[in-house]
Amino acid sequence: MDEWVDAFLLQLQNKNFSPLTVKSYREDLTEFLHFCNARGQNKLRNFTSSTLRAFLATVQTQRNPSRNTLLRKIASLRSFASYLLEQGELLRNPFKLLPAPKRQRILPKFLTVPETEKLLETATHTRMAPRDRALFELLYSSGLRRSEITGLKIQDVDFFNGLVKVFGKGSKERFVPVTDEALAAIKDYLACRQNPQPQDPLFLNSRGKALTGDGLAYIFKNTAIAAHLARKVTPHSLRHSFATHLLNNGCDLRSLQEMLGHKSLAATQVYTHVSVEKLKSVYKQAHPKCKE
């Protein structure tokens, strides 16, 4: 079964699945293979509904994952099963009689405007302040994903039109507006770099190499600690804050969907559940009793 997993993951890469998606699928399928090997069921004929039920039961008992994590594992295995069916290696779909739990809706965690301003201010006093100021300003002004911000090249920043060109999930290209403050911070950062070229990575680590996702997370963790924020802060926190603050200030869902790079509007609509302040403001302005 190992060879078929490798072939399946190679197909995902050829279809331009994001590296993070391929990594998650690889981890899930490797865990499933270890389970099958331990039971002496490492042949394709053992890829059955009963084996899947036993595997998922073991995962839930030993690790107690969140519902969404469990759903991701099921999605990985379901995709692998579909691939094997297409290749004629499976005669029956092992998921046909296997019901999946409903996805658990988790509301995005975001920072308030004062908390965001405190985080951005703290980024101007770090060891690599020019880079970190540009990094935080750009993330908050654009709402980019972690992989999108680390994948940017200098040539992707359009200083004249105030845009950044982003390659999102599935290598889909989009243009996202950014603030003048973010553009100014990027210019200041590039002025500190030695002979930067258009094709060079926009953000570098302390060793002069392209900043990675793990490196970005490390920067956020340390900056949040220095800012004395009471909550955990990740690069996605600024993405959620970007979306929530825009909605609270009147941005429409369709425009926000385009900026965030969401494939469906449903993914963007989750932010309507956290924009309570906007609802309260509209309510006070519209309700007759609030005008008295």
Count of other CB atoms within 10 angstroms of residue 69: 15
pLDDT band at 20 (very low <50, low <70, confident <90, very high): confident
pLDDT digits over 180-230, tens only? Answer: 999 999 999 999 999 999 999 999 999 999 999 999 999 989 999 999 987
Q: Determine which helix (DSSP H) or strand (DSSP E) holds 174, and give its type and residue range.
A: strand 173-177
3-state per-residue secondary structure call for 112-150: CHHHHHHHHHHHHHCCCHHHHHHHHHHHHHHCCCHHHHH
**228-261 pLDDT, tens per residue?**
987 788 888 888 889 888 888 888 888 888 888 8
2-86, which class in CATH? mainly alpha
102 vs 5: CA distance, rounded Å = 26
Predicted local confidence at residue 231, as pLDDT? 77
User: What SS3 class is residue 163?
Assistant: strand
pLDDT tens, residue by residue, 40-87: 877 877 788 888 888 888 888 877 777 778 888 888 998 999 988 888
pLDDT of residue 46: 75
| Fold (topology level) of 113-282 | hpI Integrase; Chain A (1.10.443)
Query: Tokens 């190679």 identify what position?
Result: 10
Tokens matching residue 20: 């993070």
User: What mean pLDDT is predicted for residues 111-128?
Assistant: 91
Among the ranges given (207-221, 257-271, 273-287), the one the predictor scored with the smallest mean pLDDT: 273-287
d(CA 15, CA 11): 6
* Listed residue (216, 142, 228) closest to 185, CA to CA: 142
Q: Which residues are catalytic?
A: 145, 169, 236, 239, 262, 271
CA distance 231 to 116: 12
For residue 169, report the phi and psi dihedrals to the nearest 5 degrees.
-60, 140
Tell me the one-letter amino acid at 14. Answer: N
Confidence of residue 110 (pLDDT cuts 50, 70, 90): confident
Handedness of CA 211, 5, 28, 143 (dihedral sign): positive
- Model pLDDT, residue 100: 64
Delimiting residues of CATH 1.10.150.130 domain(s) in the chain:
2-86
CB of 257 closer than 8 Å to CB of 172: no
Residue 273 has a pLDDT of 64
Task: Centre a 10 Å sphere on the Cβ of residue 195 and count the other Cβ atoms it contains.
Answer: 5
> How far is it, in rounded angstroms, from Cα 72 to Cα 234?
21
Q: Tokens at residue 55, please? A: 């595997």
Q: Where in the chain is the domain with CATH 1.10.443.10?
A: 113-282
- Over residues 99-108, the pLDDT tens digits come to 666 665 565 6
Q: Residues 8, 10, 13, 17: what is their CA dihedral angle, to the nearest 10 degrees?
A: 10
Percent of the chain with pLDDT strictly greater than 90: 34
